[in-house]
């Protein structure tokens, strides 16, 4: 039996899409919203089964991973998030690179000798790795208009992954993956699925318009902190708006906090694009926090640690 475990964002979806175009398998799909990263605990695999894990932190799935390996389950793990200690095990194959300019789909693209590079470009744009996406796209000889189409597709697929639950999303990530599967080219997908693309694009535009009305809680030349309300649009837009702020102000770090039903905050942190370090270290200091050097988050920041977080964030990037 095969299990495909993947982040529900553009990077996770496009990474799996590339692999299954190259190596078709009937598999059980395990995914969720962007921040639902403790996915391996949902895998009920036995000896001889194969599990592919894409774009979810090894550190956040360490014990379930060890449990699977101890049951002699074969695991192929591809990721670009924090991985402090990668297990050395005969049933584990890893492709992990935490460089700030790399995403999981770019790693898969390299692994597959660039067979489906256009999908890796979509994912890199979705992860706000603009320069990496453009560099990868060079081998495709695309027009500027075609490249912009890939950027827009990556952005809205990534946008679709953010929410407190799948009910917040426009399309469930597993359903979206199934819609994408079989298309060797993103352009073919966009041509055949104009309605889905329009649904995501309109949702993105509407939610971003609301976010852009939000005033900062704290702002300087080097850092800015924003707090969004407990609303579906805010939960959906928190990550992509953080990316947009980073693109607008590349020398400034950004923290976008979204009120949640539990009485705390979901946090998105973006390091300055011109100095892509530190976001993962800041978030890892708080329970449920982690991510990448350039972009990280905290699944639940309690109200009594809000001041500590703001002080840590501001101090880190104001030096």
C-alpha dist (Å) from residue 118 to 136, 160, 184? 8, 19, 9
Average pLDDT estimate for 118-147: 97
pLDDT, residue 245, reads 97
Closest Cα to residue 170, out of 182, 162, 181? 162
Structural element, H or E, at residue 295: strand 295-301
Distance (Å) of CA 204 to CA 48, 196, 226, 244? 42, 12, 19, 12
Query: Residue 31's pLDDT is what?
Result: 98
pLDDT in tens, 23-67: 999 999 999 999 888 999 999 999 999 999 999 999 999 999 999
The confidence score (pLDDT) of residue 300 equals 95
Q: What is the mean pLDDT of residues 239-268?
A: 96
Find the DSSP H helices in 212-294. 232-248, 279-284
pLDDT value for 108: 98
* Residue 117 pLDDT greater than 90, yes or no: yes
Q: Residue 107 gets which letter from DSSP? A: H
Q: What is the mean pLDDT of the chain?
A: 96
What is the predicted pLDDT for the residue at 270? 97
Give the pLDDT score at 236: 95
* % the chain with pLDDT above 70: 100
Average pLDDT over residues 251-273: 96
- Relative orientation angle of helices 232-248 and 144-159, to the nearest 10 degrees: 140
Phi, psi dihedral angles at 94 (to 5 degrees): -125, 150
Please give the share of the chain, as a percent, with pLDDT higher than 90.
94
The band of 87, judged by pLDDT with boundaries at 50, 70 and 90, is very high
Looking at residue 118, its pLDDT comes to 98
Residue 125, pLDDT > 90, answer yes
pTM (2 decimals)? 0.92
Q: How confident is the model over 92-104, as a mean pLDDT?
A: 96
Q: What is the pLDDT of residue 229?
A: 97
Question: Which residue is associated with the tokens 């699925």?
Answer: 193
Largest CA distance in the chain: 55
- Domains in the chain, ordered, with CATH? 2-202 (3.90.1640), 216-318 (3.10.310.30)
Residue 266: CA count within 13 A, CB half-sphere = 24
- pLDDT for position 35: 87
Determine the number of helices (DSSP H) and then strands (DSSP E) in the chain.
12, 11
Strands of the sheet with 223-228, listed across from one edge? 216-219, 223-228, 253-259, 265-270, 295-301, 289-291
Residue 115 CB neighbours (<10 A): 14
Q: 63-71: which pairs have CB atoms within 8 A and are 24 or more residues apart?
A: 64/38, 64/40, 65/40, 65/92, 68/40, 68/43, 71/45, 71/46, 71/47
Report residue 231's pLDDT band, with 50, 70 and 90 as the boundaries: very high
Give the residue-averaged pLDDT of 207-217.
97
Statement: residue 83 has pLDDT above 90: no
Mean pLDDT (whole number) for 66-72: 97
Q: What angle do CA 122, 133, 25 make, to 5 degrees?
A: 45
Q: What does R_g of the chain's alpha carbons equal in angstroms?
A: 19
Q: 123 pLDDT exceeds 90?
A: yes
**Rounded average pLDDT over 93-115:** 97
């Amino acid at each position: 039996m095969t299990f495909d475990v993947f982040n529900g964002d553009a990077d996770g979806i496009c990474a799996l899409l590339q692999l299954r175009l190259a190596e078709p398998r009937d598999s059980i799909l395990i995914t969720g919203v962007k921040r639902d990263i403790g996915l391996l605990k949902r895998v009920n695999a036995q000896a001889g089964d194969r599990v592919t894990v894409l774009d979810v932190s090894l550190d956040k799935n360490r014990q379930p991973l060890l449990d699977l390996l101890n049951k002699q389950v074969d695991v192929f793990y591809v990721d670009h998030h924090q991985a402090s200690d990668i297990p050395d095990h005969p049933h584990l194959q890893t492709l992990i690179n935490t460089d700030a300019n790399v995403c999981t789909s770019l790693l898969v693209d390299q692994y597959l000798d660039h067979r489906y590079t256009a999908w890796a470009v979509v994912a890199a744009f979705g992860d706000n790795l603009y320069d990496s996406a453009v560099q990868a796209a060079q081998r495709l000889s695309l027009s500027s208009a075609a490249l912009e189409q890939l950027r827009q597709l990556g952005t809205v697929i990534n946008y679709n992954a953010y929410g407190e639950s799948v009910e917040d999303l426009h399309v469930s990530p597993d359903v979206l993956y199934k819609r994408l599967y079989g298309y060797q080219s993103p352009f073919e997908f966009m041509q055949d699925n104009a309605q889905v693309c329009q649904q995501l694009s309109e949702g993105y535009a509407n939610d971003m318009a609301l976010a852009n009305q939000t005033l900062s809680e704290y702002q300087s030349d080097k850092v800015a902190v924003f707090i969004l309300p407990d609303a579906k649009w805010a939960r959906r837009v928190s990550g992509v708006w953080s990316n947009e702020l980073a693109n607008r102000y590349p020398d400034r770090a950004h923290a976008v906090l979204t009120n949640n039903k539990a009485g705390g905050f979901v946090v998105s942190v973006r390091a300055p694009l011109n100095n892509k370090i530190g976001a993962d270290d800041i978030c890892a200091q708080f329970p449920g926090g982690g991510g990448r050097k350039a972009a990280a988050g905290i699944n639940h920041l309690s109200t009594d640690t809000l001041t500590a977080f703001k002080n840590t964030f501001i101090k880190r990037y104001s030096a």
